[in-house]
A and B are shown apart, each in its own frame.
Chain A
């Protein structure tokens, strides 16, 4: 659509390249510096490390409990995605395809949480979980994240299910399919793209969150990856190469996943907020 002349093109390339550098250089420096010694980092901050030894990484892995953090984050994010995808699709299916009393009211009620930041409610959430004995537990985090991610997922899924022709469900019904069968065999296969969108958005939201673990988790063995790194950061503030190694390790899985599946991530995340 937009056409640039020679000068316009040149300007575009220069401008965009500079911006790309502003993004890529910090990543590169983080990784490079995580191979250095403190002395080397101080004397030659921009050079390549003299040797690529994995020492800092193995140390950071151990001290920052990266393994534990990965495991906890993966578990919490994975289970949350399953719960959200299941409950939100069931809810959206019922609200979209069937008539019953208070249908619209119930739907609007579920939309209340769409733009209200749940972190504003964190004190009562904290107290509620404490009363249930679920502070310092991954289950507590899962319950909170599942609830918080429901409104958006319901919203997206309902739009997709609305687009499924009613005739399809009616035909299935005439063939003798019940409500559950239609959900499982007709609706779910048709809304796979929407399910993958909400799965990605929910997973990334949970994996990247720091606020709820900061408040709900004290026990290091229950720390998610972001919390694990933040504790480590406070304790090893002198050992910079270790810190860089810890940061690199903490973001490696998501960045690698992103680079492989960037198209899906971008579609999911941008649709997520604006749709």
Chain B
């Protein structure tokens, strides 16, 4: 317990010091994807459901926020809330349909639904189609804080990040989260114990979608634009990758994975050009074949941390 409290404290100190060392906009991007990967982990890591369409929540929230703030004059807090609500609704729709099948079909159905959303967004006038939606204003948070200042924006993203993580921690340690783990470990047993497994799955899906929406909304707000890339399945694949590289079913794994992938992209993009996806693909392939627990999982296994906390959880 002591070490956990220490980790949390160290994390918060790091978040406060970070913008003095790293460009705040890079930190913003890292944190947005860390939220996204953590939200995704709620599905694959804790419930054992592989969604291959999570970009639809990320991108949809970004478009909702962008359209509302650009054309309707919403303040940023309303934009974020609307984005989260929109993503959650879409999550409810996709979840109800996708849980009708299990395993690999679940992945294919989520992928297909996200492709549906992608095509719809591509045809709509108001998304700007291939050009994307440009010139989203950042506005003033609660009418007080001017987010045009990068440090203020970083503050908002950092607070959202801490809240999202606290929320996820709360979810997975709650009785609800224990049922999700039970579903992951043995679905038939969870059913025989009398749990309405489908309702738990849909709820987990909606929560994960809402948090993905938060990440997407924050990213659109920070970068002032939203594009179809944020709805594309390659982003859905990327978030799966972040989670697996970092380590599934741990709180810090997806964060580490997201940081790793984004930093790698950032540093290599102008050096290796098109080889980038080859390199990331190879890293991912190696990780699945040789270290399935991910960075965090492998390190934790070395120190035998997972064993103990795993037992405690049961």
A and B: bona fide binding partners: no
Taking beta carbons and an 8 Å cutoff, which residues of A are in contact with B? none
The interface of chain B, by Cβ under 8 A from chain A, is: none
